[in-house]
């Protein structure tokens, strides 16, 4: 059976991220731009680490999300419509992203600085700059949330991810490989920040 390349790429990303523990239970949603008018995206309720071809739908980018797709499909579609350079969007749930997005929700962002792995993010050439990961309040009103996110990302081409408070990480790239690299890099950086909080709570300190 021939599998569409976009669907095969989503299956591969799901397995790779699932092996890292970033997609517990049936959480997360993964998508890839197929062409100017369509997107491949995971169906609702699927185990992303164990995807089969039938667990991914190819949908019209210009229409409302069809039945059977994730409630958060609208977030993906809005970003694809707004930025033609986005080729893949991967949404994961991890302990670090969930905890830190709540902890720093009042700041509306997490700032990474001094980490060598910052250079895994496209365009970052040095550890000695700020890499910002915005945080948005979570909402079940997806159309309104999509508008809020797009407004917050407008004019910020250097940003390749964001957090929803108490929810998880969205990251993207020009294709599935770059989006996955961004997810892995952000998750490593988030784990570093979480470990710093633990050490400080135990009486340690950081410069």
- The region that residue 133 occupies, defined by phi over 0 for left and psi between -120 and 50 for alpha, beta otherwise, is beta
Total number of domains in the chain: 1
Q: Is residue 124 part of a domain?
A: yes
**Over the stretch 106-133, which tens digit does the pLDDT of each residue have?**
999 999 999 999 999 999 999 999 999 9
What number is the average pLDDT over the span 154-173? 96
Q: Is residue 72 part of a domain?
A: yes
Confidence at 203, pLDDT banded by 50, 70, 90: confident
CATH number at residue 93: 3.40.225.10
Q: Got the DSSP string for 5-55? A: HHHHHHHHHHHHHHHTT-S-TT--EEEEEEETTEEEEEBTT--GGG--GGG
Domain that holds residue 128: 5-201
Q: Is 96 helix (H, G, I), strand (E, B) or coil?
A: helix
Taking 80 as the threshold, does the pLDDT of residue 204 lie above it? no
Q: Is residue 207 part of a domain?
A: no
Taking 90 as the threshold, does the pLDDT of residue 201 lie above it? no
Confidence at 207, pLDDT banded by 50, 70, 90: low
Torsion of CA 204, 192, 167, 36, to 10 degrees: 160
């Amino acid at each position: 059976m021939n599998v569409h390349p976009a669907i095969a790429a989503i299956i591969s990303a799901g397995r790779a991220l699932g092996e890292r523990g970033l997609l517990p239970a049936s959480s997360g949603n993964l998508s890839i731009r197929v062409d100017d008018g369509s997107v491949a995206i995971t169906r609702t309720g699927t185990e992303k680490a164990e995807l089969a071809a039938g667990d991914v739908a190819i949908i019209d980018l210009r229409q409302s999300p069809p039945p059977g797709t994730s409630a958060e499909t609208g977030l993906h579609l809005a970003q694809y419509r707004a930025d033609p350079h986005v080729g893949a969007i991967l949404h994961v749930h991890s302990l670090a992203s969930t905890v830190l997005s709540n902890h720093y929700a009042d700041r509306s962002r997490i700032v990474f600085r001094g980490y060598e792995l910052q250079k895994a993010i496209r365009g970052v050439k040095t550890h000695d700059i700020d890499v910002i990961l915005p945080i948005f309040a979570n909402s079940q009103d997806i159309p309104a949330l999509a508008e809020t996110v797009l407004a917050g990302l407008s004019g910020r081409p250097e940003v390749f991810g964001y957090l929803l408070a108490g929810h998880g990480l969205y990251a993207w790239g020009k294709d599935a490989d770059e989006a996955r690299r961004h997810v892995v890099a952000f998750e490593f950086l988030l784990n570093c920040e979480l470990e710093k909080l633990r050490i400080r709570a135990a009486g340690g300190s950081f410069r």
